[in-house]
Amino acid sequence: MARAARSRGRSWPARLARNAAKTIGVFILLVLLYQAWLFGWVVWYAYRAPASTAVMRAELARLQQSDPRRTLSYRWVGYDRISNQLKRAAIAAEDANFVEHGGVDWDAIERAYAHNRELAEATERALARGRKPPRQPLHGGSTITQQLAKNLFLSNSRSYLRKGQELVITYMIELVMSKRRILELYLNVAEWGEGVFGAEAAARHYFNVSAAQLNAWQAARLAAMLPRPRFYDRNRGSAYLASRTDTLLRRLPASTIP
């Protein structure tokens, strides 16, 4: 009897380990199935226009909290119906090495990290001396492909888990899609104001023209709004927005589009 009790005592840790291994195995299987599901959608979007995106759906839910009848302004247009000026401006503003990198620009991430760290230190010093902190914006190191991954499938939240998933989807997109298709998707689903998504809706919202008719200044203006579109939709007279537009105008000729 004592021997049986000792046997049961020894088997309990073994059963616990087996159950833990099964649980981990099921978890890994679910993660892999989810990645396969995402990859299927990436392949679908390589050929089909999205009816909506994760960011669109989140924004619509937010807007409908105060107005249940609210809708989004979004209309898909093909690559050839988007001004080349806007394509150049978006690349100049968001991802200068777009046609060269494989989805992630690690040098740009390093530069953004260094800039943001210096800005944080300068802000801390200014506040300690009772002065106004510098008004420079934070820099982001995300490529156009990374932003497309976020817009299609994820959210605007910030977490290491979301960033990790973003990287996985980014490499899926680069594996399946051409640079031309990536830019076409990005310009069609990017957020450009409160409830405004895509180049066509943005062109009509701000300038009452089609995306194909945007001139260089209008394109630079829209690209300058991309980091904070809702803010600039409400603050169109921003001095920084005007300055950023002029900077992008000068960069347009050097931007390479696919």
51-105+141-254 belongs to which CATH class?
mainly alpha
Q: Is the separation of the CB atoms in 17 and 115 below 8 Å?
A: no
The pLDDT of residue 136 is 56
> Cα–Cα distance between 95 and 248 in angstroms, integer?
12
Helix (H), strand (E), coil (C) string for 102-145: CCCCHHHHHHHHHHHHHHHHHHHHHHHCCCCCCCCCCCCCCCHH
Q: Is the separation of the CB atoms in 85 and 209 below 8 Å?
A: no
> Cα–Cα distance between 227 and 245 in angstroms, integer?
13
> Cα–Cα distance between 186 and 178 in angstroms, integer?
12
> Cα–Cα distance between 227 and 241 in angstroms, integer?
11
Q: Considering only CA atoms, which of 142, 78, 73, 228 is closest in space to residue 87?
A: 78
Q: Residue 157: left if φ>0, alpha if ψ -120 to 50, beta else—which one?
A: beta
Q: Considering only CA atoms, which of 209, 191, 189 is closest in space to residue 83?
A: 209
Helix (H, G, I), strand (E, B) or coil at 195: coil
The pLDDT of residue 19 is 74
The pLDDT of residue 157 is 76
Q: Is the separation of the CB atoms in 176 and 165 below 8 Å?
A: no
The pLDDT of residue 174 is 97
The pLDDT of residue 109 is 61
> Cα–Cα distance between 82 and 79 in angstroms, integer?
6
Q: Is the separation of the CB atoms in 251 and 118 below 8 Å?
A: no
> Cα–Cα distance between 40 and 99 in angstroms, integer?
24
> Rounded to a whole number, what is the largest CA-CA distance in the chain?
90
> Cα–Cα distance between 135 and 153 in angstroms, integer?
32
pLDDT along the chain (258 residues), means of 10: 50 72 81 92 96 95 93 96 98 94 72 54 57 57 92 85 91 97 98 97 98 98 96 94 96 94
The pLDDT of residue 119 is 52
Structural domain boundaries in the chain? 1-45, 51-105+141-254
